[in-house]
Amino acid sequence: MSKGTVYPAESREFRDAKTGVRIRQVTAHPSIHHHPFFYIPAYDDRMQWLVFVSHRTGAAQIFVEERATGRLIQLTDRLDLNEWSLHPAHDGRFIYFTAGAGAWRVDTDTLKEELLAVFETDSIKAKGMVGAAMGTTTLSHDDRWWAVPVKFGNCSRFFVIDTQTGKASVILERDTIGHPEFHPNDANLLRYAGPHDRRIWVIQRDGRENRLAYRRNDAKKEWIVHETWMPTKREILTANWPHGVIGIDVDTGAVRTVTRFNAWHPMLSRDGTLMASDTKNPDIGLQLFDPNDGIGHARTLCFPEASNAGEHWNTDHCPYDDGPVRVYAPQHTHPHPSFALDKSRVVFTSDQSGHAQIYEAFL
């Protein structure tokens, strides 16, 4: 099938066998599907679209579910999509993505694709399937600025693209830049991931004040990973795998305990009052907890029963401190829970059926 193809609704509803929570399976085709990475919204703010990637045509393509009708619409038809790069515009007009060595956006109404920037490199992403190799990008809350890390040989360059003028500026060059995220309420402030032992960095949109936000405990080989902004503060919440979640004030450096269970990909609701996380080793399902009370008592939402590939997670410290790690962790096997703007549901991916499909769990 090709760009513009409209597929009939595939959704069905059922109850989680253990919690009784209402679940909606969004996709059903026997191929790989996944929503954007956990801290990137899967819906526009009006919740007109649910954005996802489908491999049903034989290659990764951007799709949307038109939520009013349930129809699935194919927005791209190309062989070079960087499938973890997509970021929906908050106003729902565009979906931004990288493909090959270019930065693109597709209009959700006309399906017209627009090339915003071309990078003179063989591959935008680093090699591998995790971290900077995923090629994630970030869009500011006002849809004005799009930040894209690009690999150039042995270094990475951090581009910020003005989505109104198309001007692309390099704000930083360093060894590695991964998983960037604009602050949800501040278009001048970004965080990004550096090397595993110096993970969390913050920087201004113009490149000023690039600094390490958290200095990990090297003696304990802390594995600081899967971070996201607290929307209501200048604070970053991150997994200290597998010991729980901590909060880091980026101005004072103060660190607080958020929760103490094995939260894997912990994500906040847009109002900062609720957090959801998948779990691994052991998999105890999707957990909900309060990120503000210093206790973070977990309650089970549902059980995705995803395969959660990645043996390197079976550890109590950062495995990269022990030497090179062979990583096999296809990301579509991870639930990556993420909230809808209105906090009515959590979207997640699961391959429990034998193929990765998109699901929603209703709160």
Query: What distance in Å separates the CA atoms of residue 335 and residue 82, rounded to the nearest whole number?
Result: 19
Q: Do residues 236 and 191 touch, judged by C-beta distance below 8 A?
A: yes
Q: Which residue spans within 82-130 are E strands per DSSP?
A: 87-88, 94-99, 102-107, 113-118
Q: Which CATH architecture has domain 6-321+330-362?
A: 7 Propeller (2.130)
DSSP structure class, residue 282: S
Q: For residue 83, what pLDDT is reported?
A: 97
The pLDDT score that the predictor gives to residue 29 is: 98
The pLDDT confidence band at residue 126, using thresholds 50, 70 and 90, is confident
Mean pLDDT check: name the lowest of 94-98, 122-126, 168-172, 318-322: 122-126
Could you give the CA distance from residue 207 to residue 303 in angstroms, rounded to a whole number? 42
pLDDT digit string, tens, across residues 183-237: 999 999 999 999 999 999 999 999 999 999 999 999 999 999 999 999 999 999 9
Is the pLDDT assigned to residue 1 strictly greater than 80?
A: no
Across the range 320-337, mean pLDDT stands at: 96
pLDDT of residue 123 exceeding 90, the answer is: no
pLDDT, position 223? 98
> How many percent of the chain have pLDDT more than 90?
96
User: Strand, helix or coil at 333?
Assistant: helix
pLDDT recorded at residue 127: 81
pLDDT band at 120 (very low <50, low <70, confident <90, very high): confident
What count of Cα atoms within 13 Å lies in the side-chain half-sphere of residue 10? 17
Report residue 351 as tokens: 């391959």
- Percentage, residues of the chain above pLDDT 70: 100
| Tens digits of residue pLDDT in 240-254 | 999 999 999 999 999
Is pLDDT above 80 for 9?
yes
Query: Residue 129: what pLDDT?
Result: 84
Q: What number is the average pLDDT over the span 91-119?
A: 97
- Mean pLDDT within 19-35: 98
Q: Please report, as a single letter, which amino acid is at residue 120.
A: E
- If you average pLDDT over residues 27-48, what whole number do you get? 98
Q: Does 124 score more than 80 pLDDT?
A: yes
pLDDT score at 261 = 98
What gap in Å lies between CA 131 and CA 149, rounded to an integer? Answer: 12
The residues facing 240 across adjacent strands are 224
50 sits in which H/E element: strand 49-54
DSSP state of 124: S
Give 278-319 pLDDT, tens digit per residue.
999 999 999 999 999 999 999 999 999 999 999 999 999 999
- Averaged pLDDT score across all residues of the chain: 97
Of 241, 245, 359, whose CA–CA distance to 305 is shortest? 359
Domain boundaries, the chain: 6-321+330-362
Q: Using an 8 Å Cβ cutoff, are 87 and 43 in contact? A: no
CA distance 212 to 200: 6
**Among the listed residues 327, 295, 237, 276, the one whose alpha carbon sits nearest the alpha carbon of residue 21:** 276
Average confidence (pLDDT) over 271-275: 98
Confidence of residue 350 (pLDDT cuts 50, 70, 90): very high
Mean pLDDT over 345-354 rounds to 98
